[in-house]
Amino acid sequence: NPALTQFGNQMSQLTGVRAIMKDIAQTLKANIGEQFINLSPGNPVILPEIEQLWRKYTEELLSSSDYGEVVCRYGQSQGYEPLIDAIANEFNRHYGLNLTHQNILITPGSQSIYFYAANAFGGYSKNGQLKQIVLPLSPDYTGYGGVTLIPEALVSYKPELEIDASAHRFKYRPDFSQLEINETTGCILFSRPCNPTGNVLSEDEVGKIATLAEPYDVPVLIDSAYGPPFPALNFTEMSPVFGENIVHCMSLSKAGLPGERIGVAIGDEKIIQILESFQTNMCIHSSRYGQAIAAKAIASGELAELATTVVRPYYQQKFVIVEATLDESMPQDLPWFLHRGEGAIFAWLWLENLPITDWELYQLLKKVGVIVVPGSSFFPGLREEWGHKNQCIRISLTATDGDIAEGMRRLAKVVTEIYQKS
């Protein structure tokens, strides 16, 4: 085996949910023929209208005179110009902004934006000071666990819990009495809507975070992989928040194009330039084929339209089934709490004082043919002990209506038995 550097070591580890996904893949492979209800995927469903949209614009690209220019040549690192134009127009029109090309960077997937930012702003500064990558509300996207070359730079904060006990619902809130943002902060990062919880931080909460960061010139990256205008996977009213130190980050993945790897960073020119240089060094630019069809779908307005008429209702309806089935099949007297479903493609269930760990629950659910994701992998950067970390599971909304309902009934039965036995 070749000797690894510290970075080599860090980057060759599978973090968080990637390790569990491997276990799930092995389970499915080892039990071929057995019918599992798989409520683990983060991969979006292929919706016919969306597939048709991408097919249509691919055909248009294939027969256009631009084809060679798009696919057979390198382009600018910053991104394919018609796509940058389409995004600037969409955001300026929609949100009354004055974005120019200098405010926009196209990246190979939005995950790469977080990698660039985490390492450009987090880690050891020139004078040796550790600059932190702050996740203001844990749990959050498991992928943040792998974005930094300096693992000790990642710090996340325990939230406050707003509990509606009689309704069996709850919601996380950032705990501003704990959150520390100061000269040791390198950047701030959170998803809105949130994977895994479906939480949407309020505009007020986002504003407070941005205001805390401002005096220290700390970039605030708002991961809007599920946000409006596309994929518009918000089930509650929300508007993107912009500001001088805010980098609004988007992804085409949940709008049906995960295979093409397209992310978009929108923000202050100075920050965008830093991220762009990082990108040039790393991979030159994102796939131009994907960028070209995205440009057409955005410029025509169809992507934003289909996001609200097709993508959002599809997943919102699945969440309704999760809620209804749990309300029906979970005993009233058990301390189960479903996170408010404000967006994204997951439901998040907290089982207070669960007598076993989330990992053990995951194993028991596998035995009744249901696969979920144990929640403990969604707390990257949270160092303190917190029982809650082992009391949650993530339920994907990508399964069929019938599978979701049946999965929730089996889950209710297993969970009830666990509490009864203890």
Write out the residues near ligand PLP by the rule CB under 6 A: 42, 109-111, 141, 143, 191, 195, 223, 225, 251, 253, 258, 263
Q: Could you give the CA distance from residue 118 to residue 147 in angstroms, rounded to a whole number? A: 6
Closer Cβ to ligand PLP, 110 or 119, answer by number:
110
In the complex, what is the shortest distance from the CB of residue 223 to ligand PLP, in angstroms, rounded to a whole number? 5
Comparing CB distances to ligand PLP, the nearer of 110 and 390 is 110
Q: What is the largest CA-CA distance in the chain?
A: 69
Shortest distance, position 371 Cβ to ligand PLP, whole Å: 17
Distance CA 203, CA 395 (A): 26
Of 303 and 412, the one with the shorter C-beta distance to ligand PLP is: 303
Least distance to ligand PLP, CB of residue 66, Å? 25
- 3-class secondary structure, 87: helix
CB 337 within 8 A of CB 348: no
For residue 373, the minimal CB distance to ligand PLP (Å) is 12
349, 336 contact by CB (below 8 A)? yes
Measured between alpha carbons, how far is residue 132 from residues 15, 183, 184, 185, 395 in Å?
A: 19, 9, 6, 5, 31
**Residue 115 or 336 with smaller CB distance to ligand PLP:** 115
The whole-angstrom separation of Cα 301 and Cα 309 is 12
Q: What is the smallest separation between the CB atom of 7 and ligand PLP, expressed in angstroms?
A: 21
Q: Specify the length of the chain in residues.
A: 422
Q: For ligand PLP, which is the closer residue by CB, 263 or 330?
A: 263
Please, what is the minimum distance in Å from the beta carbon of residue 113 to ligand PLP? 8
Q: Which is nearer to ligand PLP, 115 or 362 (CB)?
A: 115
Neighbours of 168 (CB within 10 A): 19
Helix (H) or strand (E) holding 211: helix 203-213
In the complex with ligand PLP, which residue's Cβ is closer, 141 or 336?
A: 141
Q: How far is CA 50 from the centre of its chain?
A: 20
Residue 16, phi-psi category: left (phi > 0), alpha (psi -120 to 50), beta (remainder): left
Report, in Å, the least distance between residue 162 CB and ligand PLP.
21
C-alpha to C-alpha distance for 141 and 344, rounded to whole angstroms: 11
